Every structure is written in C-alpha cells, then in structure tokens.
Amino acid sequence: MSRGVVIIPTYNEIENIEGIVRAVFALSTPFHVLIVDDNSPDGTAQKVEELQREFPERLHLEKRARKAGLGTAYVHGFKWALQNGFDYIFEMDADFSHNPKDLERLYEACVNGADMAIGSRYVTGVNVVNWPLNRVLMSYFASVYVDFIMGMKIHDATAGFVCYKRNVLETINLDKIKFIGYAFQIEMKYRTFVNKFKIVEVPIIFTDRTKGQSKMSNAIIKEAIFGVITLRLKKIFNTL
C-alpha cells in the first residue's frame, strides 16, 4: 500500500494538537502524521512527544528553533516526507478549520489521477462557516486576483488543505520557496500549474477555528498581493 503523511505545522496549538492527531489516527486509512513545531511556548511539542509514546510508528515530530512562518515549516516537512519515502503528502492546519475526514477524499482524488488535490471552499458556492464577511470576501477575491494576474483558474488559490503526489514535490525546487503565508499557498499551486500537473479541486466545508489564536496579519496579506506579481514576473523572465 502507498504511504501517506499529513504534515501539520504548529505554533501554540496546545488546545488543538491532541484532538487533531487523534482525529487523523481514527480514520480507516493509516496515514502518518508529521508535526512541524516552531518551539511553541505553550508546550505543543511536549504534548506531541507524550502522544508519540502511544503512536510510536505513525506520529513524527520535527522541532524548529523559532517561529519562522508556515511556508518554511511546510518546506521543511516536504523535504522530510520525501526523504522518508512517502508517496502522498498532505498539508493540513491544526485548528480543525479543515475536517480531517476530508483527508480521505483528497487522497482518493490523487489515487484516481490527480497530481494535486485541493480542498476547496469555493468550487460550489462559498463553503465557509463562521468567518467574518471581510475575511470571506478577501479569501474569495484572492483567487479572482490570482486568475487575473497569473491566468490560473483555481477557485481557492489560498487553500491550505492539499494532497500532493510525491513527484510534484520532487519536481519543484523547494529551496526557492521563501514565502510564508497565503503567498506560499499560491506559489505551490502556481509551480504545480506551470509544471502542467493535473490539479483537482475537491469541495470541502471550512470552519473558523474555535480554539487557540489566529496568526493572520497584515504582513501576510501584503506578501500575497506583491508575491503574486513577483511570481508572474519571474515566470515571464524565465527565472521562476
């Protein structure tokens, strides 16, 4: 059987970590989990170490010295997953905004021919629960903006719930990925798109976090706005 690993970056997710790990291990597909923790002051990593005693084979932990952004945490996780021979590599948040049960739907999509399966909020209308209207609008129009600048017709370009087939991540030069927020999510999709891999959007329902603190900031929005233009220019000048 092919092996899948769910990468979950964490920063101060003590209220969610145990629940999310158990929810993945409760699925009938035996996915592995890799937590990439940035030295969370709230003790998230210690909780993972405690859980590793219960799940020694399938729960993995990479500890980084300091908070360095979600994008670089994923790049770290992708390299680890490739080195450890995984065939299906997932991105998922720790805060239950993504329903762990949908991992199996993303996996199915990749087993059935997709190279990248995106858990998408906007394929069938707007499937977002409990987000303030300004965040929904911003998130929705981000994809319209991405299409306008990059010509990439993905309904949910900033989605962070994704399954990659191994060869997609092997093809992308991960050392070039420097963005940390939404721009990171857009960049991963853009690089997959320009490499002509098959991208499929799987409709999901996204729910706002109920526990823990948001790490959303204005800097992350700015990075996305200018990042999209930078990526497009790099493509035009053949330096992507």
Ligand X SMILES: Nc1nc2c(ncn2[C@@H]2O[C@H](COP(=O)(O)OP(=O)(O)OP(=O)(O)O)[C@@H](O)[C@H]2O)c(=O)[nH]1
Residue numbers of the site for ligand X (CB under 6 A)? 9-11, 13, 36-38, 67-70, 73, 93-95, 97, 209, 214-216
CB of 21 to ligand X, least distance (A): 12
Determine if 185 is a binding residue for Mg ion (CB under 5 A): no
Query: For residues 70 and 154, which CB has a smaller minimum distance to ligand X in the complex?
Result: 70
Closer of 25 and 131 to ligand X (Cβ): 131
| Nearer residue to ligand X within complex by CB, 28 or 214 | 214
48 vs 152, which CB is nearer to ligand X?
Answer: 48
> Which residue from 37, 38, 62, 95 is in contact with Mg ion, where contact means CB under 5 A?
95
Smallest gap from Cβ 77 to ligand X, in A, equals 9
Instruction: Specify the amino acid at residue 44.
Output: T
Considering the complex, what minimum distance in angstroms separates the CB of residue 16 from ligand X? Answer: 8
Q: Is 97 in the site for Mg ion (CB under 5 A)?
A: yes
**DSSP code string of 82-103:** HHTT-SEEEE--SSSSS-GGGH
> From residue 52 to residue 91, what is the string marking binding to Mg ion with x (rule CB under 5 A)?
----------------------------------------
Q: Which is nearer to ligand X, 22 or 113 (CB)?
A: 22
Q: 58 and 32 in contact (C-beta within 8 Å)? A: yes
Nearer to Mg ion, 12 or 191 (CB): 12
CA distance 57 to 236: 45
Cα–Cα distance between 236 and 37 in angstroms, integer? Answer: 36
CA distance 217 to 167: 33
What lies within 8 Å, CB to CB, of 179 at 6+ separation is 71, 186, 187, 223, 227
Which residue do the tokens 């129009």 mark? 141
50: its two tokens:
């405690």
Phi, psi of 162 (to 5 degrees): -145, 145
Q: How far is the CB of 64 from ligand X (least distance, A)?
A: 7
Q: How far is CA 235 from CA 46, 207, 218, 225, 230, in A?
A: 42, 34, 26, 16, 9
Provide the binding-site residues for Mg ion, judged by CB under 5 A: 93, 95, 97, 209
